[in-house]
């Protein structure tokens, strides 16, 4: 089975502007940012999408969200606000079949998103 784009980034096979890493997750700048701050945080374990996460992924999912807050603070968007986005499936905007959280901030974000 071939690696996803995010697995290749985590394995350092594809370069990325990494802003955070620990044993379970990796955060890096999006190459097509939709806001002044746009970072993706991905679990190193390849979970295709949130709908396919298993009960044994519960701790990983919690870690992913908690670290997203840490990364947002590191990026300086914690005081003014930021948005976390998880796309699930093609109609949800998913383009890479590897669970990831978008951290968007640095400007006022409209609602609904579109």
- Active-site residue set: 100
Q: What is the mean pLDDT of residues 57-68?
A: 98
The Cα–Cα gap between 37 and 104 comes to 6
User: Within 10 A of 39 (CB to CB), how many other CB atoms are there?
Assistant: 26
Cβ–Cβ < 8 Å for 49, 88: yes
Q: What 8-state DSSP symbol labels residue 113?
A: -
pTM: 0.94
Please state, in angstroms and rounded to a whole number, the distance separating the CA atoms of residues 21 and 35. 22
pLDDT at position 114 over 70: no
Domains defined for the chain, CATH in brackets: 5-105 (3.30.428.10)
Q: What is the pLDDT of residues 26-56, one digit of tens each?
A: 999 999 999 999 999 999 999 999 999 999 9
pLDDT in tens, 80-107: 999 999 999 999 999 999 999 999 999 9
- Position 113 scores a pLDDT of 79
């Amino acid at each position: 089975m071939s690696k996803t784009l995010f697995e290749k980034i985590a394995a350092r096979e594809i370069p990325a502007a990494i802003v955070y890493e620990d044993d379970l997750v990796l955060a890096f700048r999006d190459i097509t940012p939709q806001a002044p701050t746009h970072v993706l945080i991905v679990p190193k374990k390849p979970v295709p999408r949130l709908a396919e996460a298993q009960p044994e992924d519960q701790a990983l999912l919690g870690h992913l969200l908690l670290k997203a807050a840490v990364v947002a603070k590191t990026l300086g968007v914690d005081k003014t606000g930021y948005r976390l986005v998880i796309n699930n499936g093609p109609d949800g905007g998913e383009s890479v079949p590897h669970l990831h959280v978008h951290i968007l901030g640095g400007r006022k974000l409209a609602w609904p998103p579109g």
